[in-house]
Amino acid sequence: MLEQRRILLIVAGGIAAVKIPDLIRRLRERGAAVRCILTKSGAQFVTPLTLAALSGDKVYTDLFDLKDEAEMGHIRLSREADIVLVAPATADLMAKMAHGLADDLATTALLATDKPVMIAPSMNVMMWTHPATQANLSTLQTRQITVVGPGAGDLACGEVGDGRMAEVPDIIAALSRHFQKDVRRGPLARRRAIVTSGPTHEPIDPVRYIANRSSGKQGHAIAAALIAQGADVTLISGPTTEPTPDGVKLVKVETAEQMMKAAQAALPVDIAVCAAAVADWGVSNPAPGKIKKTAGAKPPTVKLAPNPDILATLSKPGSRRPRLVIGFAAETSNVVKNAKTKRVSKQCDWIVANDVSPGTGTFGGDHNTVHLVTADGVEDWPTLRKQAIADRLVERIATALSGKASRE
């Protein structure tokens, strides 16, 4: 999605600016052209020479450069780009953007641009949560400025909390999603995919249900990554508060039975990613009314019955089997061993295995540590943000399907 895209990158002052050389490198690897504006404070953390060497273009720093401004440089810079990216976006620069100040080259270019703007905030947690910053953020969002991050974690000041600039893969994914809205192209163009996500709720009575702690973050991130690479995606989601990725066809379900029917209705597809944490058992005799507790009464007996096995059903050989079927294995012990056994027993192609033991923070968290189990072996991936996991997985999917005919 970034091939031949022109990105004007504004680098403000903050310790997160040390991540910008890697961001530029990754953007250029994907075919993007990057031109940089470096603020005076940004130059305290990264040099113009570094940015110029990596971007392959001149770095602009001075509003009153006689040659550039004779050519109306601030206007030209802002108009020649496809998007303006501010990373890191400090509290000071966000305030100036919100109030329309233009006292240097960066703010002048931002005020003069007619192109989309994306910011990656980075600051101390107290600065981020301050009412002034939050008010400025709301103002910028009403102007259709895209915000990526910030994340939570250890900050350079020694405190812990929100304020970390989004990781490089997350910024790249956000840029890819932005350009995907313009045109459906990419290595997975014309490929069709199913992604299941979130938990299932198996009713005990009209009030109570059996569920699990899945948030749907990983499944939704995978759907977004597939969309960004051009796929036509049906997202089948159990109950979750996660926002729906742009461009997907969303099918909302509650039970495993409903999820199974939705998956079968979406066939045929090229790719099936079963990321949902589907309850293995449902209640065989859910009560038609709320089960009442009465004094001295014994607890009711809940009879369980096996739920349909979505992953195994989609993996069965046949004309409607997706070309690539990927399951997830949420384990609390013997993670890789159990995942290997599951891949064989379900007849799927890949298993993404992760440890969901208490204390890992996997369920509901923003990070994940996974092992990709295939017929060729096991890949141990480092701990990454869930969007970065999704991007890496989708890159592997695109490679695996390259050269194969899509299902028309």
Nearest Cα residue to 94 out of 63, 62, 120, 126: 120
Q: How far apart are CA 387 and CA 149, in angstroms?
A: 12
For 265, residues 6+ apart whose C-beta sits below 8 A from its C-beta are none
Question: Beta strands of 228-303 (E only): which ranges?
Answer: 232-237, 249-252, 271-274, 281-283
Q: How far apart are CA 133 and CA 96, in angstroms?
A: 11
Residue type at position 123: M
CB 287 within 8 A of CB 307: no
Q: How far apart are CA 116 and CA 358, in angstroms?
A: 42
How many Å is the maximal CA-CA distance in the chain? 89
CA distances (Å), 31 to each of 15, 168, 398, in order? 27, 16, 17
Q: How far apart are CA 259 and CA 240, in angstroms?
A: 14
Q: How far apart are CA 39 and CA 43, in angstroms?
A: 6
Question: Residue 195: in which H helix or E strand, if any?
Answer: strand 192-197
Q: How far apart are CA 87 and CA 16, in angstroms?
A: 8
Q: Are strands 324-331 and 271-274 parallel, antiparallel or unpaired?
A: parallel
The residues assigned a catalytic role are: 157
Side-chain half-sphere CA neighbours of 151 within 13 A: 17
Residue type at position 9: L
Nearest Cα residue to 8 out of 43, 46, 72, 51: 51
